[in-house]
Chain A
Amino acid sequence: MIDQREPSDLEPAERPIQRLLATIPPAALPLGFRDDVMRRVSARTTLAWEWIAAAVLAVPSLAFLIFQLVDRGDEVGTAINNIVAAAASDSSDAFFFVDGSVVLSLVILGIASLIAAHAAVVAPSHRTPLR
């Protein structure tokens, strides 16, 4: 059964094409056709580079931050104690300093995490149940 009804929002130039396509009788697609097309359209391999790039960027920054925490953990503890003490005192002045390499590594780690998050978020939408 061919549906001869035309959509109401067609432009005049689109009507002949609509009529032509409407005359084609519907046919069942071969088994697995849809999955094959979707596999090509979704191009899952494009996500692989995101995971690789995320890992490559994250590893040095993560290693640096862990090393800093191991090597200079006492400084972090002292700074936190001073912050808590300053919050409870009426001091109107404070001095703060952070090593720029820590900032740099945190930014690189954040970017790497975002790339990984993008790969993780995009991946499930490409998976379709088998038909």
Chain B
Amino acid sequence: MKQRDAILVLSAVVLATFVSAILLAASVTNASGAAGRRPGIFFDPRNPPPPARTIGDVQRSVPEALAPIVPLQRGLTDTARDAAGYLLILLGTSAALVLAHEQVVSTYRASLGGWRAQLRVLATGLAVIGVGASAAALAWIVFLGSLSSVRGGPLGVPAALQVAIGAFSVALVIAGIAAVVGFAAAAWRLGDALFTVAWLRRFAGVPAPLIALLGATLIYIAWQIPFAGGVAVLAVLAYALGAVVTARLVGSAHAVTSQ
């Protein structure tokens, strides 16, 4: 094991120790015997969840060794709950970079180029979204129109509807996987674009996965902007799908010319 690897393992051990302390404090403060605890997970259409205990109350009810950690644990877990969406985006981007690395790299390469190439990718993505939405709507119209002939068949309307919803969900999952791959490539491109700024060029040696995560962070921040966030997300989705389709087309073209 090299020195760099040893440092990484040591960092993981330190992080794991810190997280263990936080989780231990969370377990003790919310153990089943603790008075006035909040549920770990709560969903109710009528009643709100019980209010949280104050940090002082919690500190009095836990062992002395854990009392100093309680404010940190409360702050960190509240932040983690609020940032669940952001963490999900980071995890999805990382998963695409690890598990679909070749696809992300080919998509990234397909989106390289000047503003004309970027515009072409975006326009391709918008066209793909348009085609997908139109085709999905028409498919539902055709299917629902043909339900009258299904009524007397062996399956019946409820079963036919369930099959259609199942098939539609599968199509959505496939489109979602393509979108995640494209999103990782788009985030990578955005991170690249950020490092072309003059005062950031000195950090150009940052590893590509970190650049992609930085790009994903920027996209998430843009998503939070009122009104403009929706447009930004649509543009990113279009760019992601456009990049995936462009990569597929480029790959197909290379395959044809090499034959």
Contact = CB atoms under 8 A, between A and B. Distances in A.
B80 A89 contact: no
Contacts of A114: 91, 94-95, 98
Interface of A: 45-46, 48-49, 52-53, 56-57, 59-61, 64, 67-68, 71-72, 75-76, 79, 82-83, 85-86, 89, 91, 93-105, 107-108, 110-111, 114, 117-118, 121
Contacts, number: 148
Given A93-B45, A114-B95, A99 B16 contact: no
A109 B94 CA distance: 13
Given A48-B5, A53-B8, A67-B27, A102 B40 contact: yes
B24 to A, nearest CB: 8
B12 A52 contact: yes
A103 B38 contact: no
Given A53-B9, A103-B87, A114-B94, A60 B23 contact: yes
Given A101-B77, A110-B91, A82 B43 contact: yes
B27 A57 contact: no
Interface of B: 1-2, 5-6, 8-9, 12-13, 15-16, 19-20, 22-23, 26-27, 30-32, 38-49, 73, 76-82, 84, 87, 91, 94-95, 98-99, 101
A98 B16 contact: no
28 contacts: A45-B5, A46-B5, A49-B1, A52-B12, A53-B9, A53-B12, A56-B9, A56-B16, A57-B15, A60-B20, A61-B19, A71-B32, A79-B39, A86-B45, A93-B45, A94-B43, A95-B43, A95-B49, A97-B41, A98-B81, A100-B76, A101-B26, A103-B77, A103-B80, A104-B23, A104-B77, A105-B19, A117-B98
Contacts of A61: 19, 23
B41 A75 contact: yes
Given A82-B43, A86-B45, A99 B26 contact: yes
B16 A118 contact: no
